[in-house]
């Protein structure tokens, strides 16, 4: 007997809610492997000390990240790495595209309630801190 499929992990669901645009999703699907390949080639460079491999690794890493940043720019959201530092500094950030996020339905029928930024955060306004701040 074939068991039923398990529901996706909460981190996967969160990632999918942050990348609703098809263009952003495709840019991430191309950019993430390029970034990982750049990191792996850097290890090859460290072993061989080859300048062309270093240039290729750096180009893949920076190019992969640039594609992902372009996806976030087109969606109007901040990348996760930027959100981390903005939270740390208490600066406003946009985690989810407007009109989506954990309190909105994915079917597009739900509308943002008044006063809800659709995934936007303002420093100190309605944000709960968990654990000691750094």
Token pair recorded at residue 24: 């952003």
Return the higher-pLDDT residue of 110 and 37.
37
Helix (H/G/I), strand (E/B), else coil: 75: helix
Residue 55 half-sphere exposure toward CB, CA atoms < 13 A: 3
Could you tell me how many residues make up the chain? 134
Rounded Cα distance, 73 and 103, in Å: 22
58 within 8 A of 47, measured Cβ to Cβ: no
Query: How high is the pLDDT of residue 105?
Result: 54
Q: At 12, is the pLDDT very low, low, confident or very high (cuts 50, 70, 90)?
A: confident
Q: What is the mean pLDDT of residues 49-78?
A: 92
Rounded CA separation 77/110 (Å): 20
3-state secondary structure of 65: helix
- Whole-model pTM: value is 0.66
Cα separation, 80 vs 67, in Å, equals 14
CA quadruple 96, 99, 101, 107: dihedral sign: negative
pLDDT recorded at residue 103 = 59
Report helix, strand or coil for 90: coil
């Amino acid at each position: 007997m074939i068991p039923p499929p398990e529901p996706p992990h909460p981190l996967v669901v969160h990632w999918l809610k942050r990348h609703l645009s098809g263009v952003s999703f495709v840019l991430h699907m191309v950019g993430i492997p390029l970034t990982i390949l750049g990191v792996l080639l850097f290890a090859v460079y460290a072993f061989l000390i080859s300048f062309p491999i270093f240039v290729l690794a750096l180009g893949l890493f920076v190019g992969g990240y640039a594609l992902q940043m372009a996806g976030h720019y087109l969606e109007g959201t901040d990348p996760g790495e930027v959100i981390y530092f903005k939270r740390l500094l208490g600066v406003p950030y946009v985690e989810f595209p407007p009109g989506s996020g954990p309190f909105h339905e994915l079917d597009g029928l739900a509308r943002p309630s008044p006063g809800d930024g659709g995934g936007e955060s303002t420093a100190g306004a309605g944000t709960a801190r968990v654990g000691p701040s750094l």
